[in-house]
Amino acid sequence: MLDMLLPSIVDGLLIGVVYGLVAMGLTLIFGIMNVINLAHGPIIALGMFGVYLLFTNTGVNPYLGLLIVAGGGLIFGVIMYFVAVHRVLNAPHLASLLSTFAVNMIIIGAGTVVFSTNFRNVDFSLGAVTFGPVTTTGARVAAAVVALLVTAALYLFLRRTRLGKNIRAVANNRKSAELMGIPSSRVLAISFGIGAMLAAVSGGLLATIQPFTILSGGVYELKSFVIVVLGGLGNPVGALAGGLILGLIEGIVPVFMKTTWVPVLEFALFVLILLVRPQGLFGARQ
Amino acid sequence: MALLEVHDITSGYGELQILWGIDFAMEQGQLTTLVGSNGAGKTTLLRTIVGQLKPWQGKVFFQGQDVSRLPPYTKAEMGLIMAPEGRQLFTDMSVLENLEMGATPRRARPRQAQNIERVFALFPRLKERMHQRAGTMSGGEQQMLAVARGIMSEPVILIVDEMSLGLAPVLALDLFQALRRLRKEGYTILLVEQNVRMALKVSDYAYVLAKGKVDRSGPSRQVENDQEVRRAYLGI
């Protein structure tokens, strides 16, 4: 059993980093504008299909395809902000929940018509990778590396660039930001675009390691909620930590129990955290 | 035409009218003060000037241009900068980052580094605390930062709202002296204050607001010696 444990932990950590990225867009958008984007899952699914279609139809390398998917996600997010979010930003929470849920239903409906709900997979292999006693797939390692790079880039963007600091300023005090000459609507639109971009990229990465359908985003949206609550809602760095915890649970639990116990434990943890430490293990937005 | 002119402004919130026809003007290089008791409409007038509220009637002219309907960020870009009441800092960001955000208007960016040195010279405390999160500083330090952040924007007019509110008298005095120094350096400042005595002491020209109207205006020395003002605001 112990010789199964180490590979499980490694696999869990690798997928955990990707999970962190999956949840990051959700937590970023909430942290900046207090909106829970219920279209998060379908945007992840669109990212999966983006990479899949680019690869299957035009032969674009999936990792190159991620760049195109990122651009598409950004544009989609900015448009979605002006169509479905901007006007309900100051309304009660229910309004933005409903409007983003409407976008969710539209994507799923249209996606089902166009793609059906059959499973797809990106038929592209990076072979196997071995570190000492542990062997895993190259795709998993690559996905984790890309997810880490994107996380680091996001962190540097928010900390070091003027636009990143403007985003934090608007998140912190929108009125004051406007008094300093920062056009808050434009900044919020870009922030929402970045949140959607992160979701789409994470979907693209997941597509390189697992089969998926247009409905798969929903699964990851649920996981995102668990991760975000673990890491603290609105805290992108906490999302990475939450993702790692979830990845570890998924890696280790099947060694001892049936795999079907994984979601039970995940959501039990979710409820427990909400009861005991609702601000998350690492504190809400930093 | 004066640098800033407000013509016959009426404004308020929802159904509630606060301002009842205000005329107001500010000259380049002067420290003008707007005083009055709580609820006189000072903050409402400011919010209308900077664009957080749209005037119901009347117009705001800045540098000869009608800016009545422009949003705050456009006015900030033009140089109409407010250090808001209650400081309204970016509390989760460092002192330095707050100052950088002050340098958002395009006019102010090329001289960001010089301006940071300048505000550190004016408020040495901020230099000591430059990497500290703004929200963890004392009230007086936060107020210094609010004024400093305004200076970073290279304001054509710097509006300072309720600067001394809630501050110990010694700290308030420091800030009034800082404003005086800025005025000497050539800044045009609009100071809104509930500390009428200090405001009249440091300013060149004063407006007294009461019940949403301009009750009195004139050179500050003159307003200071007005019997009515002395009785109503200075307790003499």
Residue A284 domain flag: no
Q: Do B50 and A179 touch (CB under 8 A)?
A: yes
Total domains in the fold of chain B: 1
Euclidean distance between CA atoms A171 and B92, whole angstroms: 10
Query: Cβ contact (<8 Å) for B84 and A176?
Result: yes
Distance CA B40, CA B46 (A): 12
Pick the residue of B101, B112, B151 with the most A CBs within 10 A to test the interface with A by mutation: B101
Q: Give the integer Cα–Cα distance in Å for A96 and A118.
A: 31
- Facing residues of B11 across strands? B19
Q: Please check whether residue A152 lies inside any domain of the structure.
A: yes
B128-144 pLDDT, tens digit per residue, is 999 999 999 999 999 99
CATH number of the domain where residue B219 is located? 3.40.50.300
Whether the model clears a pTM of 0.90, i.e. scores above it, the answer is yes
- Could you give the CA distance from residue A206 to residue A203 in angstroms, rounded to a whole number? 5
| Selection from A145-154, B39-48, B163-172 with the highest mean pLDDT | A145-154
Residue of A nearest to B74 (CA): A181
Q: Residue A180: which of B91, B92, B104 has the nearest Cβ? A: B104
| Residue A271 domain-assigned (yes or no) | yes
| Chain segment A223-238, per-residue pLDDT in tens | 999 999 998 888 888 9
Query: Does residue A221 lie within any of the structural domains?
Result: yes
- From B16's Cα to the closest Cα of chain A, the distance in A is 21
How do B31-35 and B205-210 pair as beta strands? parallel
How many Cβ pairs closer than 8 A exist between chain A and B? 70
User: CB–CB of B90 and A176 under 8 A?
Assistant: yes
Q: In what order do the strands lie in the sheet with B205-210?
A: B80-83, B157-161, B189-193, B31-35, B205-210, B213-219
Query: Which parts of chain A sit beneath pLDDT 50?
Result: 286
Looking from the CA of B115 toward its CB, the CA atoms found within 13 Å total 24
Tens-digit pLDDT profile for residues B77-125: 999 999 988 779 999 999 999 999 999 999 999 999 999 999 999 999 9
Q: How many domains does chain A have?
A: 1
Here the CATH number for the domain that contains residue A225 is 1.10.3470
Which domain range does residue A51 map to?
2-276
Cβ distance B72 to A165 less than 8 Å, yes or no, reads: no
Q: What is d(CA B66, CA B9) in angstroms, rounded to the nearest whole number?
A: 13
A265: in domain: yes
- The ipTM of this complex is 0.91
Q: Which residue of A has its CA nearest to B105?
A: A181
* B144/chain A closest Cα distance in angstroms: 16
- If you measure CA to CA, which chain B residue comes closest to A183? B73
Q: Which domain holds residue B30?
A: 4-232
Q: Which of A163, A167, A176 to mutate to test the interface with B (most CBs of B within 10 A)?
A: A176
SS3 labels along chain A: CHHHHHHHHHHHHHHHHHHHHHHHHHHHHHHHHCCCCCCHHHHHHHHHHHHHHHHHHHCCCHHHHHHHHHHHHHHHHHHHHHHHHHHHCCCCHHHHHHHHHHHHHHHHHHHHHHHCCCCECCCCCCCEEEECCEEEEHHHHHHHHHHHHHHHHHHHHHHHCHHHHHHHHHHHCHHHHHHCCCCHHHHHHHHHHHHHHHHHHHHHHHHCCCCECCCHHHHHHHHHHHHHHHHCCCCHHHHHHHHHHHHHHHHHHHHHCCCCHHHHHHHHHHHHHHHHCCCCCCCCCC
- Cα distance between residue A202 and residue A190, in whole Å: 18
CB contact under 8 A, A179 and B92: no
Q: Which of A178, A179, A182, A185 to mutate to test the interface with B (most CBs of B within 10 A)?
A: A179
